């Protein structure tokens, strides 16, 4: 089984187009694993898919994108559906990082970091992850340093996705350096 392809398809189902898969996410983004499997099986590609394939997909991935707990599965981050997924508001580490394309810098300096098509701005705890995120769009990305301690003190809300990824509604440029 091609787990990368499966992961991409699951991203569509759990982050972007649950309706196309006849799925309804709950307030925290969870769906029943059985419902997801049922829906994936309608496509020839995944006609024999089982829960163990989803578990292997999660295990083999270099990125922590999904979790299965009991009979449910969810994406940790990345949602673009209109219904905003509720994330746990939390005090962030004092510094976070965001890797992005150099060509976006001018606009970010003017408007701060905004979620664009997703529900939240995505931030990393470590520089290495930020570089990988930035490299998706720029061979030589820029890593922005977020003074999350000051931002938090000044009322910017942060949300926990998982140990390495934090989310925020928007980050004004006052709290960003590069």
Footprint of ligand HQG (CB under 6 A): 63, 65, 78, 100-101, 104, 107-108, 111, 113-114, 116-118, 122, 133
Q: How far apart are the first and last CA of the chain?
A: 41
Q: Cα torsion at 28, 65, 2, 81 (round to 10°)? A: 40
The smaller minimum CB distance to ligand HQG, of residues 58 and 133, is found at: 133
Distance CA 39, CA 88 (A): 29
Q: How far is the CB of 51 from ligand HQG (least distance, A)?
A: 21
Distance CA 102, CA 81 (A): 27
What does the DSSP 8-state code read for residue 171? B
Which phi and psi angles does 176 have, rounded to 5°?
A: -120, 135
Q: How far is the CB of 100 from ligand HQG (least distance, A)?
A: 3
Q: How far is the CB of 48 from ligand HQG (least distance, A)?
A: 25
Q: How far is the CB of 1 from ligand HQG (least distance, A)?
A: 19
Name the residue among 121, 110, 61 with its Cα closest to residue 87. Answer: 121
The smaller minimum CB distance to ligand HQG, of residues 52 and 117, is found at: 117
C-alpha distances out from residue 95 to 25, 56, 148, Å: 31, 33, 5
What token pair was written down for 59? 């295990």
Q: How far is the CB of 104 from ligand HQG (least distance, A)?
A: 4
């Amino acid at each position: 089984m091609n787990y990368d392809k499966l992961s991409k398809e699951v991203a569509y189902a759990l982050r972007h187009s649950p309706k196309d898969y006849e799925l309804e996410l709950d307030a925290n983004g969870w769906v029943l694993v059985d419902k997801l499997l049922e829906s994936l099986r309608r496509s020839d590609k995944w006609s024999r898919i089982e829960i163990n394939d989803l578990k292997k997909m999660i295990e083999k991935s270099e990125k922590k994108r999904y979790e299965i707990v009991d009979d449910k599965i969810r994406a940790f981050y990345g949602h673009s559906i209109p219904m905003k997924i509720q994330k746990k508001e939390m005090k962030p580490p004092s510094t976070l990082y965001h890797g992005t394309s150099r060509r976006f810098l001018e606009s970010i300096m003017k408007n701060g970091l905004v979620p664009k098509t997703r529900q939240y701005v995505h931030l990393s705890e470590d520089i290495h992850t930020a570089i990988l995120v930035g490299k998706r769009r720029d061979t030589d990305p820029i890593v922005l340093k977020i003074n999350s301690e000051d931002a938090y003190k000044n009322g910017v809300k942060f949300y926990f996705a998982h140990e390495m990824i934090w989310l925020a509604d928007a980050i004004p440029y006052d709290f960003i350096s590069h």
